[in-house]
Amino acid sequence: AELVFLRGGTTTTQALLSKSIEFAILSGTSMTLANLGGADLVIVGTYHNKLNFKIIARPEIGAPKDLVGKKIGVQSFTGASVFAAKVGLHKLGVNPRDVQFVAMGDNQGILSGMESKALMAGSISDPQGLLAQKLGFKVLHDFLKTDLPFANISVITRREYVSSNEEIVTRLLKAQMEGVRYLLSHPDRAKTTISKYARIRDPEILDYTLRLFSGSYNPSLMPEPEGMKTVYEGLADQRPETKNLDPSAYIYDSTIKKIHQSSFPGELDRLYP
């Protein structure tokens, strides 16, 4: 397998649709927007069924209402970051239409914008959420402290691909399932890997990252329709047609179900007790 780094949901979705890549790790939000535009993408497995985002503001923001009229950084206009920003603002009593969203590409771009005061707040995913707090910024809303289901970190591919390449999809999902179990069973190796790929050197942030995701990973990789329902509800203002979508419409779970009906989960239990 070849790992390819692509920045943002829009770019990654385009690569998937152009068949430059076979699989992508994306949120249900990016996938749904692509499908509403004519694509036919499906979730075949989900690692993480929660939003790992925080709404974080500069110190001079005394209350959520102070965000009205201000610029708020998001990673892109189509992914989980802007979704979290809109839902978080609603929960804070602020109408998302009363702020200006600015696409910054990634967490580091958002943090840089906040440090320069070009942005007054941002929708930032962990572990950079902790880094933002260490820089003196304040958390206004933390989604991981809620019970809101959300199809977040998911394995996504084209429907026609999974229907004609079931063996490859099966092998990929088995590898991902074992990868999660290995990570949970080997914390030191996990931190080494996180440090390498996420370029995190701070021991405190490394420990925080492993602890955070270890407690919220979905080892079964089974997609949850409730998580997609949350995606649709969050997009309803932007795309009203999502109100009538079946929560299972973009889930292709037959492959992961076959894996769970096989001897493979038992083998993992023996390898990683």
Global pTM reads 0.83
Query: CA–CA separation, 91 vs 89, rounded Å?
Result: 5
Q: Residues 255-266: pLDDT tens digits? A: 999 999 999 999
d(CA 46, CA 173): 10
Q: How many Cβ atoms are within 10 Å of 198's Cβ, its own excluded?
A: 13
Each residue of 26-79: pLDDT tens digit? 989 889 999 999 999 999 999 988 888 999 999 999 999 999 999 999 988 877
- Residue 8 corresponds to which tokens in the numbers above? 């943002």
Non-local CB neighbours of 221 within 8 Å, separated by 6+ positions: 45, 46, 47, 155, 173, 176, 177, 180, 256
Contact in structure between 251 and 228 (CB atoms under 8 Å): yes
